Amino acid sequence: MALSHAILVSLTDRAQSGYDLAKRFDQTVGFFWPVSHQQIYQELHKLAKADWVRAETITQADRPNRIVYELTDPGRAALAAWVTEPTTPPSFKEELLVKLFALDSDNRDALLAEIARRRSLHGERLARYEAIMAEHYPNPAALNARKRGRYLGLRMGILTERTTLAWCDEALALVGSAAS
């Protein structure tokens, strides 16, 4: 997936400024496709050049002018074509797993501490995802198609975090009981 597609998806509901888009991105698509705000602004300029989005400058008296981007018909067509393309499962790079290949009595305590730290981070992320789920998706069957798609993305995030927490618990027990 290209960043351009993630931005096009984020613009399907409404026109947004680059700032608003970056903020919204951080709280939605950014959970699964993290990028910097600068990358979003750069991509918006490319999308405007390709005529996939239209930029409108809104003059503001007390603030700098605001540029609002909206999807164009060619942008909608590009998004529709991209949605129908097959996807490839993501590759999985996990430095902690590589470090565990080197597990021995000399680094056992350091790896236990890292697994515990990771468990804490994944617990925090799970709590954040579950709070979003409770606030925005209490009744998935009543959601429209687009919101069901968002719900399913969040649901996968929740299940992934729960699985990762279970793995952390197993790893802590197994590494912790390893013979020195």
- Three-state SS annotation for 37-73: HHHHHHHHHHHHHCCCEEEEEECCCCCCCEEEEEECH
Beta-ladder partners of 90 = none
Is the entire prediction scored with pTM above 0.85?
no
Mean pLDDT, the chain, integer: 91
CATH topology of domain 3-83: Arc Repressor Mutant, subunit A (1.10.10)
Render pLDDT for 106-138 as a digit per residue (tens, 0 to 9): 999 999 999 999 999 999 999 999 999 999 999
Give residue-wise pLDDT tens across range 19-45.
899 888 888 888 877 888 899 999 999
Task: Report whether 44 contacts 18 (CB < 8 A).
Answer: yes
> Is the confidence at residue 180, as pLDDT, over 60?
no
**CB atoms closer than 10 angstroms to residue 29:** 21
Q: How far is CA 154 from the centre of its chain?
A: 9
pLDDT tens per residue across span 75-104: 999 999 999 999 988 887 889 999 999 999
